[in-house]
Structures are given as C-alpha cells and as structure tokens.
Amino acid sequence: MPQDPKDLTSKAQTQIAGLNQEAKEKDIQDKAKRLGYPYVNLLSFSVNTDLKDFVPQEKSVKAKAAAFFRSGKKVRLAVLNPDLPATKALVTELKIKGYDVSVIICSSESLQSAQQVYFAEEKEVHGDTIENVVTEEEVGSAATELESLEQLHDQIEKSASDQALNAITVGAYKTRSSDIHFQPQEKDVLVRFRIDGVLKQVFTLTPQVYEGLVRQIKYMTHLNLNITNAPQDGQYSFVINERKINVRVSFMPSQWGETIVMRLLDSQKTFQAFEKLGYEGEPLRNILESLKLPHGMILVTGPTGSGKTTTMYSMLQSVDTKAKKVITLEDPVEYELNGITQSQVDHDVDYTFASGLRAILRQDPDIIMVGEIRDLETAETAAQASLTGHLVISTLHTNSALESISRLVNMGVKNFILAPALDLIIAQRLVRKLCECAEDTPVTETERQQIETTVQAAAKKGIEVPAIPATMKHAKGCDKCGQSGYVGQVAIAEVLRFNQELRDLILEGKPMPEVHAYINENCKMLSLQEDGILKVLKGMTTLEEVYRVAA
C-alpha cells in the first residue's frame, strides 16, 4: 500500500531535525574543546533520577546546570556556560560543601532533556513558574533602537536556544513591546514586535532556529513538547536588571507550524495619573468625581489592546487604600498592586466572574474591580452590588459609550437596576504619541476640512475648542523612535457621566435612538474622533493616528 505523503513529510522533517541536532552537538563539542572543558550529550545519556534533588529546580534553571553523575564526593555538572555568574556560584557552593566538581559543557537541548526528567513531577504537581534571570551582558548590545535588534539577527541564528530567546525577549522589552509574534511561513519564520500598539517586523528566522526556540519556550512554560496540533497556553518570567517581567505565551497550530504570541507584562509597572494617560478638562473631572462616590458603577469599554486594564488600575491607584478595602477579580491578574486584594478566576473549579463576585461581596469591600462583564449573571450581580453601597469598576467589550447601554439592556439587565446603577462609562482607544523629532508642516486644505467638521460638531455640544493653526506637527522619524515618528501612547476617549434625566429615560424604557439623541444633545460628551482631533491640535498625535483607531 502506498505511504501517505504526509507521513513521508513527517519522517523527512524528523530526519532533518535529527541531522540539525547532530550538527549542533558537534558545534558544542568543538566549543567545549576550545574552552578546555569536557563535553557531554545528555540526549543519549541516561541520567540518574536520584540526583533530581541534588541541585534544586530553582538553582538548576538559574545556573543553567544539572548534575548528571555522582559517586561519593565526586560530581559531574553539565552546564551551558561555565562563565555564567550563577553557574560559578553553584560550583563554588558545591565545593564549599566538600564536593569535587567536574564542569562539563552541554547543549541547551541536552540540558533541557535532563531537567525535564528531573523536574517533570514537580511541574505537574506544583505548576511552578520558571523564572529566568537575564543579564544584559548575556545578550550583548540589545539597544533601545529597533535597528540594533536587526543587527542581532546573525547572533540569534548562531546562539543556543536559551540565549536566542533571551536576546529576543530582552530586545522586545527594551523597545517597549507589549507582544512578540512568531509566525511560521513556507520558507522562514517572521518575528514581529507590537510597539505602541502597532506590529513591526524585526527579522526572520530559519525553521531550524525556530524549532529550538519552540522547544525552549515550551520548556520554560511547562507545556507538552509532543503536542503540535492543538492550542496550548502557559507562562514564565524573566528578570532583567532586578525587574521581573511576566511572559504569557499562546501556542496555536497553523499551516506551516506552531505560531506563538508572547505578551510581556512588567510586574513592577507604575500606573500614571489620568492627566498623563490623556484625560483633561471635563472628562477628567467626571472621572475623579465618580471615583469619590461611595457607590455606583464605572465601566471602561473598548476592544482588546485599547488600554482598559491600565485605566482601571490607574483608578485603583488613585484610591486611598488605607481607608477603603479594594478587591479585584481578574482573568488573569496582570499586575501586582500594593494595598489591594487581587483574586484570579479559575474555571477548573467553577470560580468565575459571577461566582467570584458573590464571594467578594461577603468580604466587606468598599471598591470592587471586576475584570470583565461577560454575561447577564455577572452584569446583574455587579449592578446590584453598586446599589448596595459598593463602587464597582469593570470593563465591557463594546465600541462606544452609547453601545454599552444597549449591550447591557440586550443582555437582559432590568431597566430599574441599570438606570440607578450606572454612573460613568468610558470608551477608550490608544493612539501613538509624536516623538520629539516631529516637524511642523503647513495644514493642507483636506486636513483643514477634516478638522473643521469635527471642531464644529464639538462646538455644538458647548465644548470649547482651539482655533485651527496654520501648521501642525507630523511624524518624521529618528533613532530614538526607531524611525517610526512615534514614542508611547495616549488615550482618546468618550466619557459619559449619567445625570437624572438620562437615568429617567432608561428607567422608562425609552427606545435607544431616543436615549442616544439625548446624550448627543445634552451630555457634552466628546466622541473618540473629536477628542483625538483636539489632541492633534495640541501637537500630541496626528490625524492619521486618530483615523487609524477611530475611523
């Protein structure tokens, strides 16, 4: 019977992978010889499982080392880099304890093989998150400019998998990237960073290098190496300059192999005041007044990546946590906040937003932050909590403040609950801020017409707007901004504060078009475009950016 071509392809790929690994082991063997150290291939070596406790998991990962042989006081230690400070510290520690330590160089795949044998049980039982300590010396000159990362391409192609991963993650961190995307293609793998909300190609990798990265990432995240045809999610962390960065990883099968997205979360991130986020004037006053209320509901809406979590965390950090008890329910907990009780949903034990919110209400909180309102039960429980003496802050996936009211009504929240509960709705997007290299150019006739239309609409709402200048700042590009013309992001937002007349319209069950018309005529709420163009007139961003996110 003829053999399935797919099976032949799979076998060929396996053979190629084996040949690539043999070549890599030969390179490591040559490297060990040049450095004057012995070499070992633990992939073909049966490690002694009795040694799994000899070097604890945390030290093994940090020092990139594993003991694979022991006889009396004689110990053989497989290491990636004998000059790594953590490795030297481990060797010194063992020698102080009286051991005769032989340092032997191995490949990263070889070391991972031994560590997986040693620590598989601990990972399965405890689910520990591996923490990788990275020094800038290990990755050379991963400078702040994107061009320097492109120069790292050759180094990454020739490095061991763990060193290549370190170079990529540190480079992403230093360029302010929120996400790293690995996208396999027919002949190579595209690597892109999301910087200030926009994806930018960094370089491409060969399939052979990517194969090693996949194994390294799966090892770090405790994921199954053998599963390639189903999605997997995991996490790990790395420390750079004593700053802990959490990495949330998503694997998904695709036509040319597994695609990976890695989200970087700085656990020590500080959240800025609302003025720095882009809020000012009446919208800022409305937010600050709502946060001082003893009860009510504040919603932050927008698509993924619109900064909802950052805005909510900034709200929580503006609260006096010494005088008020604040509890959050998140999926997952992204950042650690001092003075606040944070809880994470767990669907495996039926700990959902709805059930968790009910539990929180028994903890006597003053302020509750719910990560997202996804269903009627959560919406009703949150609204009821806001009516019984709690300030509730949450998010909703809608495109505008007006749509949020319709969404909650369509979910089934009763008008007599919704009307008195809602106090503030923020619909938010993020636009890139102009770099200091921006240059002034004359306003074109097309730009003037676009601005005039928006300015007139805002003026009809009774909002004071500045005059249209003769020149406006436009993106140029320099080394500091990676030639993009932008550095950082700022929010443009709709901020809707509820008054009694608006509540009465909802309570009476008036049609949504009538409710929307009242808001547009009486609530002085800037639309996303209007707020964005006011920021253009202040030289903060560009028309292109505003129309990109608020078309």
Rounded to whole angstroms, the Cα distance separating 370 from 353 reads 7
Pairing of strands 296-301, 422-434: parallel
CA angle 445, 447, 449 (to 5 degrees): 70
Taking the CB of residue 124, how many other CB atoms lie within 10 A of it? 9
Residue 137 predicted with pLDDT over 60: no
Read off the pTM.
0.73
User: What was the pLDDT predicted at 135?
Assistant: 53
Rounded to whole angstroms, the Cα distance separating 505 from 79 reads 70
User: What was the pLDDT predicted at 320?
Assistant: 85
Q: How confident is the model at residue 154 (pLDDT cuts 50, 70, 90)?
A: low
Rounded to whole angstroms, the Cα distance separating 301 from 312 reads 11
Question: What is the token pair recorded at 220?
Answer: 């770090």
Q: How confident is the model at residue 287 (pLDDT cuts 50, 70, 90)?
A: very high
| Contact by Cβ (8 Å): 526, 465 | no
User: What was the pLDDT predicted at 123?
Assistant: 42
pLDDT over 90 percentage in the chain: 55
User: What was the pLDDT predicted at 188?
Assistant: 94
The region of weakest confidence among 21-25, 91-95, 128-132, 418-422 is 128-132
Between helix 5-35 and helix 108-126 the angle, nearest 10°, is: 110
Mean pLDDT across 364-372: 95
The amino acid at 498: F
Count of positions (residues) in the chain: 551
